[in-house]
Amino acid sequence: MPIDIVGVISNHEDMRSLTEWYGLDYYYFPIEKHEKAGQEKKILDLYAKTGADLLVLAWYMQILSDDLCQKLSGHAINIHHSFLPGFKGAKPYHQAFERGVKLIGATAHYVTSDLDEGPIIEQAVERVFHMHSPDEMVEIGRDIESLVLNRAVRWHAEKRVIRNGNRTVVFGR
């Protein structure tokens, strides 16, 4: 990919050893009750300090403030573990299982202050069947998420994505 990864920020310590094994800086910013604004300030400060031009949210299960969304407009991509616009929020594969869906997917989109409603960059789906458990659907979904996020970040870095209102145009697909 035509990018330099400047680090990984997490509110958990889970991926520190793997991140550092790859030679990347790991920043642990735990979310403390009533301190969300402070954590978002740390993220913005680090974003500016490192000279980053894209923030990628992967399994960052927090709702960003309107202020942070506006400051990162067009420079933050979220991978949503669902084929949007359906099954927003938490546990979308469990929601899909309960509805008996036959296709599950993932959506990469630009972050906006409207939860999971930003301009969509890429999506993919995979067929599932009644015998798949919610946990199996999560595993299938993680593979899809990786592919979709990879494409979205690559296309953004190659400047092949143009925002057009609440939509995107992706060139050279």
Query: What is the CATH number for 62?
Result: 3.40.50.170
On whether residue 10 sits in a domain, the answer given is no
pLDDT tens-digit profile of 102-132? Answer: 888 889 999 988 777 789 999 999 998 888 8
Residue 29's region, left for phi above 0, alpha for psi from -120 to 50, else beta, is: beta
Could you tell me the pTM of the whole model? 0.85
Alpha carbons 108 and 104: distance in angstroms, whole number: 14
Ranges of H-type helices in the chain: 16-21, 36-50, 66-71, 92-99, 134-157
Least Cα distance to 78 among 16, 42, 123 occurs for 123
On whether residue 46 sits in a domain, the answer given is no
Helix (H, G, I), strand (E, B) or coil at 126: strand
On whether residue 97 sits in a domain, the answer given is yes
On whether residue 35 sits in a domain, the answer given is no
On whether residue 88 sits in a domain, the answer given is yes
pLDDT tens-digit profile of 39-87? Answer: 889 889 999 999 999 998 887 777 888 999 899 999 999 888 766 556 6
Which residues lie below 8 Å from residue 163, measured CB to CB, with a gap of 6+? 74, 110, 119
- Taking each helix axis as running N to C, give the angle between helix 134-157 and helix 92-99, from 0 to 180 degrees, rounded to the nearest 10: 130
Q: Which residues are catalytic?
A: 116
What six digits make up the tokens of 102?
Answer: 């036959």
Number of domains comprising the chain: 1
On whether residue 1 sits in a domain, the answer given is no
On whether residue 29 sits in a domain, the answer given is no
On whether residue 38 sits in a domain, the answer given is no
Q: Give the domain range for residue 147.
A: 53-170
pLDDT tens-digit profile of 25-39? Answer: 998 888 777 788 888
Q: How does 138-163 read in b/e, with b if 16+ C-beta sit within 10 Å?
A: bebbeebbeebbebbbebbeeeebee
Beta-carbon-side half-sphere exposure of residue 6 (alpha carbons within 13 Å): 12
